[in-house]
Structure 1
Amino acid sequence: MDAKTAEYCYFDVDINNFRKKLGTAAAFVDATNSRYGLSSKNLLSLGGSEIARLEEMISGDHEWSSKNTEVGGIETRPPTSGQRIVVKLHWTVAPIACENFATLCNNGSDKQKIPIGDCGKPLTYRGSPIHRVEKNFICQGGDFVKGNGSGGECIFGKRSFKDERPGLLKKHDRRGILAMGNSGKNSNTSQFYFTFAAAPQCDGKHVIFGELVSGMEVLDAIEEHGTSSGEPDVPMQVTDCGIYRPFEDPGAGYWYDQPDFEKYSGVSPQFIVRPRVVCLAPNKGALEKFKSAVGTACQVVESVELKEEDMADQVSLIHALMESFSVDVMLIAPACKNIKESIRLPTIWQAQGIDVAHVALIAKPIDAQDAIHQHSWISKQSKWQLDGSL
């Protein structure tokens, strides 16, 4: 692992067993659609009125009501916040911490056998909990040994590794900073944390080795379940993780387990993609219309109220978001179409054969989803299932 092969990583966080609850609803629809006269065997294809009836149906069904109780109630709609977080690793600052984190994210993603550590546990973040959530401070995870913050193991054949001074010198000055959890000097293992706000009390004590570049809404959802004791009020688990490859891996979305009885597991896991969008419009009213139009089928990363006097700074912001792979497409109101002439795709985007016409989409709010599903570069990704496209 190095900066060339693992500059970015992703991991998907399931909050309060949402994936299992949504999967239970999907299994119910698949098994009983004929009995209840539903329009499809696929939960994601049902209409709003049908979805509104599902909870009542399953509660009154003798066979399925017990399964509903087992999972703590079903979820009939996708998660509003999505589940994927993407981070950029600072290899020049803390290469040891970066290699450790990237390897623990990647182990198991290639279907190869996951190595077992000295503690007897697989060396991977998959299946590990987010065990600590304190509002306005941090959320912490990575303890795949004990799951409660008292365990952890690094990849280097020993329990811990030393602090890296450049990482200690960096500041916890904003939301989304990624740093190593520890129990004192030179005690880094596998535990990590994200800041919810500036945390100067951690400066000089913990090695900062990265930052969140996508998935701030997931961080928001995690923070909602923080407590004064630090123990989250609902379970949270890393269900998937790996090296994030821009243009190959989706940057936002959620997991959906479609019943498939030809599979050994009985389900066919699908990652439903939510395009990450920047909306550009002449006023706040138009921006709100864009947000309403895309709903939860897209993740609105930034809303820009275009002003002539701020145009240069606003274009710079858009370019920075593209450079860090924090955004996929732009929705531009027709009244602001001239800004398209100022948008230049980063070299790495151009190298993928992507044209600005497939990134900067001029559309009215009512046509926003169709523009993304029909004209964006994301719509050409044959392996990606876009949210709202069924």
Structure 2
Amino acid sequence: MKNVMLLIALWIFSLPNLQAQEAIFRSQDLISPEMEDNKVTFRFYAPNAQKVEITGDFLPTEKIDSPMGKVDGPGKVTLIKNDKGIWEFKTETLAPELYSYSFLVDGLPALDPNNPFLIRDVASVTNIFIIGGAQADLYKVQQVPHGTVAKRWYPSEGLRMVRRLTIYTPPGYEQSTQSYPVLFLLHGAGGDEEAWMTLGRASQILDNLIAQGKAKPMIVVMPNGNVIQDGAPGEGSKGFYKPQFMIPQTMDGTYEAHFGEIIDFVEANYRVNKEKSQRAIAGLSMGGFHTLHISRFYPNAFDYVGLFSAAIMPRKDATGRVYKDIDATLEQQRDNGYQLYWIAIGETDFLYDANQEFIKKLDAMKMPYTYVETEGGHIWRNWRIYLSQFVPQLF
């Protein structure tokens, strides 16, 4: 009798777990996202939900609040529920691109349990998928020779810590004895040494452009621009914590003033050509701000400069010696000469007007530059395009 009662008790106790497991297994039976003829079907199992929505950058944009004010953000649409408790939405034909998305279940954010592929942008985690073809083929892993991606730690006496950076070496680097040109590639606010690899698809872009003969083999160095961090959240000594959009000292001149330590580390540990003609620097948003000021603070260090949606704006905390005599150092950079000063921005970017003002300054001092204007705003879709357009022009 005791054994019977024990079995009944165990059965009753296990009901919630059985129901939870049933939900998991039902969910995993679904295919989401399902792609056919560049149309995508999303599915989400939530039989008790009142409303399930999807939000993603494949939908028309809408204005949303952000730390930068009103910016373009992804729209959202409601899924349709069937009699099995499965919510579904099918897109129109999508253009080739790397897309991100997430669900809202009764207003609460949720990831797609059927799609294990994720990216983190600051503190937001979303699912991703790629519609191949055209530009988006650069973002895919193709059957071409691949470079090597390493996470290295370099000593920074100026910042009083050992810091982490990401380094891409091109296909064949390990077997070669030649010296390579170097691109220093900088992230934006809220990013870190992981951003260009995960959000920017930098290694895929470099592999594919090099394989196509459109870019020269090069080393790409992706540092962490947040000077109070030794590494990305979860990768540094501070452990796991919520990433922030703006971190203290990110744009006060500290990073730029000690950037030479990164150059020294790379040149001491990799086979690089140390000539100015073989050195480039580029960055997006905050990284564009850093690029502008690093390239003029070291006015004879870089022959190629790329400003991607650069955060060119006055800042109260920009008090470091790096920001002294901006016009004079720009003139020195101009007089020293360079191969390319490349500026790109989207026509609806919230930094558009600031970039136009900077261009007027360059015009006034007769400083040569190349200007590219695209559709869209302050988004990774543009920055991946800018990288794939900038790299073929180097070296």
TM-score for the superposition, normalised by structure 1: 0.25
Higher RCO (Cα < 8 Å, 6 or more apart): 1
TM-score for the superposition, normalised by structure 2: 0.25
Larger gyration radius, structure 1 or structure 2: 2
